[in-house]
Structure 1
């Protein structure tokens, strides 16, 4: 097969023109009042956002900030759910709350479909991905995932203190997503850089963010061209050949979806695995119970997802409106905190506690509404297998230095440094 004209170098400038935003405020710095000046990019939010969210839920359920060009932070489950389901008043064309907004012309597709897509385009973009993420499709990846987890733990042998985030958690989704997309497994370190640029660089000037994003898309287009020349049975070749409305997908659709899978598919699961190991390392009663009762793990896993939900999404207000007591302006950000929703005592009994045998657990860790995570079956499999293998191989472990645990800033929260003492 010859190179596909859709992916010619001329398209690169088109991507840049469409992605440039309209504002460039600096967004970080000390918070004066979380109710009127919140910032999810601050270190105290990354370290422990839950007390902040709990206080806001009591005194100011929908917080306001003038940072990021203006935005809102609902903290009650009912408000988060209402916005997540309301595609008439809120757009998903930008899901990372930062110091610039993509132009409105980017809707309804967005830069990384389907998560950035609005109806009706979203339905078709999401439908294209469903076959790759069914329970049966995911089950076929479990044996390889389990073997990888054992290999990673083999490499830790002889160490008294290991970094469970760096040396274990991050590698599992990196390998799984690389295999799905048909990317070289040794490119994992590059994926980490792409993730950090996308999710933790929200205070960079737009030009710098675009420059870093271009490095990601340069990589993706190189992989696309290689797949055009050497097609095979993986998700990249599938997207290249897929059709929508009788036409092959636009280059921005193919590359944007690949970017979504690479970044969101890795960071969310990496964070969930790391947060779960962090909890078990600091909570010996829960760790010992799961070692003694491995059949409880699927239930416990859902509770860990609820309590430490890694993902917060963003929306943009479509038009000026009065909504639930506040006056929202066109293009105001909405920071849609699923972690805050998951700890709302109006929705969950003992909401601030981790109850590993919680039976009724309709948590929002995978989102709500039309954008609920298409890869939830895959994420659950990776998390379950990662914890099963770790608890089997390393049943006794504690935090080596609680103060040394470092959490990612931004909208996907998980431990980036997690020193654990084994044995």
Structure 2
């Protein structure tokens, strides 16, 4: 059997396993009470979730909903952290809430290792990726990233209004991740569709959602075949050749890790860059200060990551239990709202304010516990370079129409349309 045959066979077997999971009836519509019927897919949550989170933290710090087959939403930092660190009672085999739960036998690997992996497998799967994401390894990508940002702004010259999300922020992580994985850079539009299918279509019927996810894995299979035929120095070839426990990675592990890097590596950074530009466009004092003090940018981006943390992860409850005053059932979802944790006044002084020179800032934007983001150095580099180049080239800008800004729903929140008036 050739390597290519092995990958194709394993993809089909993995598909059969996924179809054996648990489905729930799709429930949509306006939220009746955020404490008992929350939904992070609703327009008002996407537009501005922070007042909702603040209200819940004060009156019902662990909210519940029957949507998605049952889910919980802790809003205090201490609760989010406790769940993130507790791998005995909470599983990571599925980290995106939807109306479908993958079967138990997919643990401890999960569909997109290592973020979907439980101990002890998680430790070894994560260790495989670490060399590619050290500070030193990421520094090698900075010159090309800076050149890309300049090229993107070159393409905006001569226009009064530009979409900073679609025409700038989106393209930076797309090109960087495509380069790291060895994917064609012109496939960017496909990547955007994969992101939407993975993170913004969670309320679709499970069968339709799985079909959409198949498009991603079919694409990855094509890329794997290409790299098997033509190996090169990139992450895809590295994963194909990597060994764990004395043998090559299972094809599903290779594809899952690639899917994780593609989806998470693009949407999280795209959202963080967009949210930072949105803040500066509506806050002239902060914009003017960063233009005058470019050395403050690294400190400012930590505050942007805290206040506009894009990512909310999920866990599945392993067994029925009473936890901090609520009765959780096996396979209930738990949304780990790092954005809510980052605005908890019990953890941060002036938690709801943006303080761009905040000195102590131990935020949770990159997660907590064993699943803390392996790509944090990459995300910080892209965000820093994106803002440095933008502020250098476009020091004066403002929102063209605040009401025209739209935000992604779901577990990764960032601007999807961000019309900005320049000059």
TM-score, structure 2 as length reference = 0.99
Question: Does structure 2 conserve the Cα–Cα contact (< 8 Å) formed by 1:175 and 1:188?
Answer: yes
Residue in structure 2 matched with residue 77 of structure 1 by the alignment: 77
Question: Does structure 2 conserve the Cα–Cα contact (< 8 Å) formed by 1:4 and 1:228?
Answer: yes
The 5 Å alignment of 1:74-113 reads: 74-113=74-113
The 5 Å alignment of 1:319-334 reads: 319-334=319-334
Q: Distance in 2 between matches of 1:11 and 1:240?
A: 14
2:23 alignment partner, SS class = coil
Residue in structure 2 matched with residue 358 of structure 1 by the alignment: 358
Whether 1:285 and 2:285 are equivalent positions in the alignment is: yes
Q: Distance in 1 between matches of 2:258 and 2:300?
A: 31
Residue in structure 2 matched with residue 271 of structure 1 by the alignment: 271
1:322 alignment partner, SS class = strand
2:101 alignment partner, SS class = coil
Q: Distance in 2 between matches of 1:416 and 1:159?
A: 20
Deviation at 1:206, TM superposition (A): 1.2
Deviation at 1:25, TM superposition (A): 1.7
Q: Distance in 1 between matches of 2:170 and 2:18?
A: 28
2:100 alignment partner, SS class = coil
Deviation at 1:3, TM superposition (A): 4.2
Question: Does structure 2 conserve the Cα–Cα contact (< 8 Å) formed by 1:6 and 1:250?
Answer: no
Deviation at 1:166, TM superposition (A): 0.2
Residue in structure 1 matched with residue 43 of structure 2 by the alignment: 43
Residue in structure 1 matched with residue 207 of structure 2 by the alignment: 207
Deviation at 1:253, TM superposition (A): 0.2
Deviation at 1:160, TM superposition (A): 0.2
Deviation at 1:15, TM superposition (A): 2.0
Question: Does structure 2 conserve the Cα–Cα contact (< 8 Å) formed by 1:3 and 1:229?
Answer: no
The 5 Å alignment of 1:23-172 reads: 23-172=23-172
Deviation at 1:26, TM superposition (A): 1.1
Q: Distance in 1 between matches of 2:6 and 2:118?
A: 24
1:272 alignment partner, SS class = helix
Whether 1:227 and 2:227 are equivalent positions in the alignment is: yes
TM-score, structure 1 as length reference = 0.99
Residue in structure 2 matched with residue 368 of structure 1 by the alignment: 368
Q: Distance in 2 between matches of 1:3 and 1:129?
A: 22
Q: Distance in 2 between matches of 1:338 and 1:111?
A: 22
Whether 1:294 and 2:318 are equivalent positions in the alignment is: no
2:126 alignment partner, SS class = helix
Q: Distance in 1 between matches of 2:24 and 2:161?
A: 42
Q: Distance in 1 between matches of 2:23 and 2:10?
A: 24
How many aligned positions are there? 422
Q: Distance in 1 between matches of 2:28 and 2:133?
A: 37
1:383 alignment partner, SS class = helix
Whether 1:19 and 2:12 are equivalent positions in the alignment is: no
Structure 1 gap ranges (5+): none
Q: Distance in 2 between matches of 1:370 and 1:27?
A: 32
Deviation at 1:23, TM superposition (A): 1.7
Question: Does structure 2 conserve the Cα–Cα contact (< 8 Å) formed by 1:27 and 1:39?
Answer: no
Residue in structure 1 matched with residue 345 of structure 2 by the alignment: 345
Deviation at 1:61, TM superposition (A): 0.4
Residue in structure 2 matched with residue 252 of structure 1 by the alignment: 252
Question: Does structure 2 conserve the Cα–Cα contact (< 8 Å) formed by 1:25 and 1:100?
Answer: no
Cα RMSD of the aligned pairs, angstroms, is 1.0
Q: Distance in 2 between matches of 1:88 and 1:27?
A: 30
Q: Distance in 2 between matches of 1:217 and 1:402?
A: 37
Q: Distance in 2 between matches of 1:73 and 1:27?
A: 17
Deviating above 4 A after TM superposition, structure 1's stretches of 4 or more consecutive aligned residues are: none
Q: Distance in 2 between matches of 1:7 and 1:159?
A: 47
Deviation at 1:109, TM superposition (A): 0.2
1:315 alignment partner, SS class = strand
